[in-house]
Amino acid sequence: MAVKIEKGVPLPAHLYERVEIGPLPLKEMKVGDSIVVEADTQRELERKLKALRMRLLRFSKKSPHYKFRVAKEIDKSGTHLRIWRVSRAG
């Protein structure tokens, strides 16, 4: 089967609308510490939640002695995500 190069095919929106989280101080966190990640909209919150879970999964594979939990929190200032370092795994 021959592979044909196609020009001018637009990239699907879900591939270029990446969510930006920025650097996280995961290695500096001690058990019981937490950090907050803000989001402006509900859609951004859901996308950041998914991205954070993937980032934590990759981080934990490289550093298996770190274990985290992520949850949505609702308070006076709105909805945001919080990451806790819960224990030393292993």
Looking at residue 52, what is its pLDDT? Answer: 94
32, 14 contact by CB (below 8 A): no
At 63, is the pLDDT very low, low, confident or very high (cuts 50, 70, 90)?
A: very high
Q: Strands 34-38, 78-87: parallel, antiparallel or unpaired by DSSP?
A: antiparallel
User: For the segment 15-41, what is each residue's pLDDT rounded down to a tens digit?
Assistant: 767 788 889 999 999 999 999 999 888
